[in-house]
Amino acid sequence: MAKKIGIALVIVVLLLVVGIWQRHRILVPLATSGERILPSEEASLPANGKSVGQDAYFYVVQLDERTFAVAEPYSWPKNVNYLIAGTNRALLLDAGVGFYDIRPIVEQLTDLPVTFIPSHLHYDHTGQGNYERIALVDLPHLRERATGGMFKPSWGEHLGVAEGLEPTAWKIDEWVQPGSEIDLGDRQLTLIYTPGHTDNSISLLDNANNMMFTGDFMSAGNISAYYPGASMGDYLQSAQKIIRATADNPDIALRGAHAGDDGQLPVKSRADIEILRDQLVRIKNGELDGTGFYPRIYAIKEDVVMQAEPRWLQNWSATYPNDEE
């Protein structure tokens, strides 16, 4: 009898360990239907733009002469993609969910050759990978998986399973070193590796024009740090990095990749990142507690919450601990 109870206990413990270890594999499909989420018919539209494309699905706001936000106000994540042009070439930072093709919209906005670069590999930023030219951040843990110039996001990097999408393999034309400059012709962007939301997240800093594109690092009201590859240690390291990189631009506009409930384009300030850094330190030291179990919700400031793992599952080590560019 005692032996049977012992075996049963071992099995329960093993199931628990495997369940916790594989929690994302279990929770993402459980929390989602795996069916495509259809665009909503109603949306709050950002100010000062115009609806374009098939079904008027996209909404373009011109930010300055050479910078456009290409928003998807009818998609559930309310994605905001950016077309950033110089005089020789342009970058498309993020390409949306991909159920609608963003390329015809981009072609209407510029005649320059356009390279797609994802702020990170989540499916709602990568379109479906159908681009002529693709650039990717040159990180050892990504580069080592590329074979013959082809790279395929993993299940957990992509998360398309949430809407029935499989990651596809991409041909990478450019591997961009963290900290290096991308020359668009009369316009330089610095690629800054800013992991936290994922371990492949980047930001693009346009120093001269006082703007930075920060992907999902901090968009409107919600910071998500509990999906596969997310790390609290990375978040803290990246917050410090953004603060350092923007030391000369105290008024810089930090443009994120998802609109909030009001539908307006997400813009955060350098001061917001300083608050995030301070709150992360407090979470790390056990001075700021959250609510709920999974995800655990931390109030970062009055209009921003962070969704994280429960404290005992939080990862406070950085993916690249010595990366202090």
Angle at 116 between CA 110 and CA 119, to 5 degrees: 120
Single-letter code of the amino acid located at 72: E
Which residue has the CB atom at the shortest distance from Zn ion?
Answer: 122
Spatial CB neighbours of 58, under 8 Å, sequence gap ≥ 6: 51, 52, 70, 71, 72, 100, 102, 105
- Smallest gap from residue 16 Cβ to Zn ion (A): 28
CB-wise, 85 or 218, nearer to Zn ion? 218
Joined together, the tokens standing for residue 301 give: 């400031």
CB-wise, 163 or 216, nearer to Zn ion? 216
Joined together, the tokens standing for residue 299 give: 């109030």
CB-wise, 8 or 76, nearer to Zn ion? 76
* 142 SS3 class: helix
Angle at 171 between CA 212 and CA 318, to 5 degrees: 50
Chain residues that interact with Zn ion, rule: CB under 5 A: 122, 216
C-beta neighbour count of 54 within 10 angstroms = 10
CB-wise, 112 or 226, nearer to Zn ion? 226
- Smallest gap from residue 15 Cβ to Zn ion (A): 30
Quickly tell me which residue has 């936000």 as its tokens.
Answer: 69
- Smallest gap from residue 149 Cβ to Zn ion (A): 25
Contact 68, 60 (CB under 8 A): yes
CB-wise, 122 or 255, nearer to Zn ion? 122
- Smallest gap from residue 28 Cβ to Zn ion (A): 12
- Smallest gap from residue 172 Cβ to Zn ion (A): 20
H/E stretch holding 85:
strand 80-85
Distance between CA atoms of residues 298 and 111, nearest Å: 44
Distance between CA atoms of residues 112 and 144, nearest Å: 31
- Smallest gap from residue 120 Cβ to Zn ion (A): 6
CB-wise, 109 or 242, nearer to Zn ion? 242
